[in-house]
């Protein structure tokens, strides 16, 4: 994760560091639940766009 953060410039600002931390938390949660990454992220994004909370 440190290398990814360095390459992406995620720690150049407090906002970038927080964004990176949230993204990694989401990815780790999906992984721990043994869910498929792409389709799960797609569903989360579509739910966010539509305003659904379920």
Asked if 53 contacts 41 with a C-beta cutoff of 8 angstroms, the reply is no
- Comparing CA positions, the residue from 13, 9, 41 lying closest to residue 25 is 41
pLDDT, tens digit (0-9, with 9 covering 90-100), for 8-34 = 665 677 777 788 788 889 999 999 999
- Please report the pLDDT score of residue 11 as a whole number: 64
- Please report the pLDDT score of residue 8 as a whole number: 64
High-pLDDT (> 70) share of the chain, %: 76
pTM of the model: 0.65
CA distance linking residue 50 with residue 34, whole number of Å = 25
Is it the case that residue 37 has pLDDT exceeding 90?
yes
């Amino acid at each position: 994760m440190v290398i990814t953060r360095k390459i992406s410039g995620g720690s150049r600002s407090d906002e970038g560091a927080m964004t990176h931390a949230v993204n990694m938390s989401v990815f780790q949660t999906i992984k721990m639940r043994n869910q498929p990454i792409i389709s799960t992220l797609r569903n989360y994004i579509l739910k966010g766009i539509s305003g659904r909370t379920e």
